[in-house]
Amino acid sequence: MAGKIFESDVLVIGSGLAGLLYSLKIARSRSVNIITKGTVTESSTSRAQGGIATVIGENDSFDSHVADTIRVGAGLCHSDVVKSIVASGPRIVQELTNLGVKFCKDSDDNEYDLGLEGGHSKRRVLHVKDHTGRDIEQTLTERVSEAPNITVFENHMGVNLYVRNNQVFGAYVLDDNMGDVERFSSRITVLATGGTGRVFLYTSNPDVATGDGIAMAYRAGASIVNMEMVQFHPTLLYHTKIRSFLITEALRGEGAILKGHDGRRFMPDYHPDAELAPRDIVARAIDNELKKTGADHVWLDISFKDTDFIVERFPAIYEKCLEAGIDITQEPIPVVPAAHYVMGGVRADINGRTDVNGLFAIGETACTGFHGANRLASNSLLETSVSALNAAQQLDAELERLGPPIEIPPWDPGAATDPDELVVVSHMWDEIRRLMANYVGIVRSSKRLIRARNRIGFLAREIGTFYWDFKVTRDLLELRNIATVAELIIRMARMRRESRGAHFNKDYPSLANEAVDTLVRKGYEPVIQA
């Protein structure tokens, strides 16, 4: 059977801030198909609690935001990219406000209420209480539902991009409702699939964060950079039943302190900025405390602040913790670090353009060089929005440059049969996530990375056999993608013979003389680039 074919000027894969904002900006004149694996609002954006870092305050400056981003990025940021994105901040706030996002204002003077987070030398995080991402996602979803020319396909997952002569013409897509693979033909394809947190056992990311865009781009021949740079958020709620719930860094911005089981505040031992040190330092300090004491979590305490303030400023965290039996106004919160954000990704410029024609990558899927080796808190919504607007602005010129589409041939399932033992897929999922947590976590070593490489090599070969022998399902596709992403992270972690930002290898504990990007492209020798 030939399978259905859907055509549009642009195919957007993913429905977080990146995909929705980009689509809204082009929909007046161009047709857009958005595919999303789950429902529209299931995205990393929805979980962003902190906010969007932007220079708004009178005593702040672009130079200061640029300097903080570069310092926290541990020498790996591309400074031209940083300057350009930071300078676009006020435009982004205006854009999101026009779309209907209501950032919190101070009731006294009606000025924006600016939050403080680790690594920032000034208060500059615009937020909607502690559920900024949820509000942004809901607002954009409403605008998309009213927009002309946008069709959203829920429960649809990209299988592979269709590439000819280094140009992408759309994708094969699994309709998870029907179990069929369909063709989505487009002149431009935008990867906006978010991050890769699900590659690790413990993560703040939603279930959908399986690095699909990065894996598809890699298979299509795009350059992938700096995948070893995985940021671990220091404070995820530690609870047996409530999984993946973040406790925003903004709590520490408002004075919350980290304590061990002996009640002692330990962060001043590690960094002069204590709880507000860059995230990689706080995560490693907690990891060290856990290893030293054998405890399974540390405590984050804000209970000494005024109860009304806590409930008003952090309503979502207050409610969620109450559900878990913890009253944060009275007692400390048990927390652990967990995989949160990948600084690496598909190499893209600040217009989202990759090195494959017709293929764009925006948001966490992309690596523009903005975050360097360690992302400054609340800088990701900013980068995503700037890339989305820039890419939208470039669209007409890009379409002119690329010429007409070509027809995608029907999907060939070969001799694939229904899988007889789906439970094996979940076993392999579990194996990968555990090996990444055990061998490629916050503190790495060369021996552990070799162990990880050997194991992932074996699993990837097995998964390849599964992929060819059995009809594709969402679980199987996600498994194939997390295996690819895990392989990329391990490979690039082995290429980096130093410790920098989020990548710490005990066998190379210092910075190398030169800051370089690691780069892998299918069919080419891996390189490190100054």
What is the closest distance, in whole angstroms, from the C-beta atom of residue 398 to ligand SIN in the complex? 30
Please report how close the Cβ of residue 276 comes to ligand SIN at its closest, in angstroms: 12
Residue 66 has φ and ψ, to the nearest 5°, of: -60, -45
Which of residues 169 and 299 has its CB atom nearest to ligand SIN in the complex?
299
378 binds ligand SIN (CB under 6 A): yes
250 interacts with ligand SIN by CB under 6 A: yes
Rounded Cα distance, 237 and 204, in Å: 9
List the one residue out of 458, 435, 461, 439 whose CA is nearest residue 448.
Answer: 439
Per CB under 6 A, the list member of 33, 41, 203, 248 interacting with ligand SIN is: 248
Q: Are 358 and 352 in contact (CB under 8 A)?
A: no
The answer to whether 34 and 152 are in contact (CB under 8 A) is: yes
Candidate segments 86-94, 151-159, 247-255, 475-483, binder of ligand SIN by CB under 6 A: 247-255
Nearest of 66, 442, 507 to residue 282 by alpha carbon: 442
Structure tokens at 31: 């047709």
Contact status: 249 vs ligand SIN (CB under 6 A): yes
* Per CB under 6 A, 385 contacts ligand SIN: no
The residue from 377, 486, 490, 493 that contacts ligand SIN (CB under 6 A) is: 377
- Smaller CB separation from ligand SIN, 236 or 432: 236
List the one residue out of 215, 233, 200 whose CA is nearest residue 47: 233
CB 503 within 8 A of CB 496: yes
Q: Is 49 in the site for ligand SIN (CB under 6 A)?
A: yes
On whether the CB atoms of residues 36 and 156 are closer than 8 A, the answer is yes
Nearer to ligand SIN, 163 or 237 (CB): 237
Residue 247: CB minimum distance to ligand SIN, A:
8
Tokens for 218, please give them.
Answer: 């890699």
Q: Which amino acids are annotated catalytic? A: 279
Q: How far is CA 453 from CA 224, 447, 518, in A?
A: 18, 10, 17
Other Cβ atoms closer than 10 A to 354:
26
With CB under 6 A as the rule, give the number of residues binding ligand SIN: 10
Residue with smaller CB distance to ligand SIN, 27 or 335? 335
| Residue with the CB atom nearest ligand SIN in the bound state | 50
Select the residue interacting with ligand SIN from 186, 380, 390, 518 (CB under 6 A): 380
Which stretch, 256-264, 377-385, 457-465, 515-523, contacts ligand SIN (CB under 6 A)? 377-385
For residues 424 and 141, what is the distance between their CA atoms, to the nearest angstrom? Answer: 36
**Candidate ranges 48-56, 69-77, 282-290, 293-301; the one touching ligand SIN (CB under 6 A):** 48-56
Give how far Cα 475 sits from Cα of 212, 228, 234, 319, Å: 12, 24, 29, 32
Number of C-beta neighbours around residue 74 at 10 A = 20
Site for ligand SIN in 327-346 (CB under 6 A): 341
Residue placing its CB nearer to ligand SIN in the complex, 33 or 384: 384
Select 103 or 184, whichever has its Cβ closest to ligand SIN.
103
- In eight-state DSSP terms, residue 474 is H
Which residues would be at the binding site for ligand SIN (CB under 6 A)?
A: 48-50, 248-250, 341, 377-378, 380
